[in-house]
A = this chain, B = another copy of it.
């Protein structure tokens, strides 16, 4: 008998070791236990309420290796609101229900309930995560997700250390208030952000650099370093090379980032390697991420500014600043010169020149040379019954109560508009002028993509409601990277295709359309699931600026029940047993 007990104990120990190490073929399982709730926080010196994770803002940084499985047990501690988290840039291959998009990939997690996000991070890179329900991203629900190369693998560049900075913008009105403002008739625009944040830290009503601006009425910040809004200082050693990982989860602002006196070499975008190129400053749009290398090769007795400035909208928001501190200088030693001066906010040629330098590293996957289906998406600002909306091919996206993934998988016919939204817009539409008819309509239809086909998307920008206004829109695709084949001015025409870059187009998950311009993308619809494709500007998505792609949903394996418990899928599953 004693021996039997020994064997049992042995097996118990063995199995507990296996469970604890959570071995999964090809990588580790990284366990996280998160609680989402509102907290008092002072992102910029003025206290407000933010959406925090485990009582902190921004949320904890996830760090994993390519091939690992991330396992986040998320408990909703909000009082009346649902919540989801989207893992921006992670393609969710085989786990489309873990994409964290309410009304698309899953039902929002109810207050008091727990949902497990479990997915593989298959590709090294700089990513982030954020809320994707209502405007919860604007409320501060975001954090960084860094995937290092798999053990034994090497990056195609060398560095001595790395830093991670997540950029965002901050308003003093709550995201709830902003939602009501944007949904009002007439619409009340939320205005420019009060503060730009670097890793959730900014300064309002004072400036780290006020001393440099003789004509400024803003006072020098009096910061001890322990404040929630104290800048996170970057500590470097002279002559070492660093990787700066940058991601932007701004609600609105397009940004330009610079390190005073230092050049940067751009090497990664959205988790894909680039042909390295050197810049003095760089643009970054909401939804994008980059890695840049820089060497601490300047006068080591000085510290230097790192600055972010608004691009593409007339700025009413001061630069966001932090300090690059050379060892062994004091962190409180201010740089010798004023912060970098950003290019003019409306110098789009400058932005285009930067964007056109972004090309795939030699040896990167190449796009198919032809496409099976081309979808032209015209972005317009419209009025629907007096409400200001954004529409794509004259359809302003309204999300259904039942997430698409479940309703398509189970063939429910009443869950969303069965009418497919159009692949084209009127060939005589004048993108340079306000539409003669500014009316539009709501829709929840889906672009059903044939599995494994190659899809071209031409994003076409246009004049907004007001004359001579066309805005920047960074479009983000879930579930895929796409190749950016080209950018152009005015209306896309068939002959623009001849200039497509099929040789070394960069792979991205986010691409900008410039004012009055177009952007051409290509991807292969090879990831079974339902995927949002939308402007990453939070209020624009809220106002309908997005479309839904679905592909191979029949191939999606068992969707966890917890993702289906709302709307018509919940009803269907429950009513089968409960008559």
Contacts and interface: CB of A to CB of B under 8 A. Distances in A.
Contacts of A176: 38, 49, 174, 176
Main secondary structure of the interface of A (DSSP, over half): loop
A111 interface: yes
A190 interface: no
A214 interface: no
Contacts of A573: 573-574, 577-578
Contacts of A39: 180
Of the candidates A39, A184, A573, A578, the one having the most CB atoms from chain B within 10 angstroms of its own CB is A578
A110 interface: yes
22 contacts: A39-B180, A40-B180, A49-B176, A79-B133, A79-B179, A80-B83, A80-B102, A80-B134, A81-B81, A82-B82, A110-B110, A110-B567, A112-B399, A112-B400, A112-B567, A113-B566, A174-B176, A564-B578, A565-B571, A565-B574, A570-B574, A576-B576
A471 interface: no
A562 interface: yes
A575 interface: yes
A103 interface: yes
Interface in A549-574: 561-562, 564-567, 570-571, 573-574
Q: How large is the interface on A (under 10, 10 to 19, 20 to 34, 35 or more residues)?
A: 35 or more
A133 B562 CA distance: 22
A404 to B, nearest CB: 13
B576 A561 contact: no
A107 interface: yes
Contacts of A107: 110
Nearest to A136: B80
Identical copies in the complex: 2
Contact of A38 (B179, B565, B578): B179
A562 B567 CA distance: 9
A281 to B, nearest CB: 36
B108 A108 contact: no
A498 interface: no
A428 interface: no
Looking at A180, A542, A570, A577, the one whose CB has the most chain B CB atoms below 10 A away is A570
A135 interface: yes
Contacts of A81: 80-82
A177 interface: yes
A113 B414 CA distance: 13
Residue of A37, A49, A574 with most chain B CB atoms under a 10 A cut-off: A574
Contacts of A577: 573, 576-577
A518 B183 CA distance: 49
A401 B174 CA distance: 26
Interface string A248-266: 0000000000000000000
B574 A113 contact: no
Given A112-B103, A573-B574, A79 B567 contact: no
Contacts of A102: 80
A79 B538 CA distance: 13
For the complex of A and B, the 10 pairs showing the least CB-CB separation, nearest first, are: A112-B401, A79-B134, A80-B134, A573-B574, A576-B577, A80-B81, A565-B570, A38-B180, A561-B574, A113-B401
Contacts of A177: 49, 174
Interface in A259-294: none
A49 B181 CA distance: 9
A201 to B, nearest CB: 21
Interface in A92-107: 102-103, 107
A48 to B, nearest CB: 9
A38 B181 CA distance: 10
A81 B111 CA distance: 9
A577 B561 CA distance: 10
Given A80-B134, A113-B566, A49 B180 contact: yes
A84 to B, nearest CB: 10
Contacts of A565: 565-566, 570-571, 574
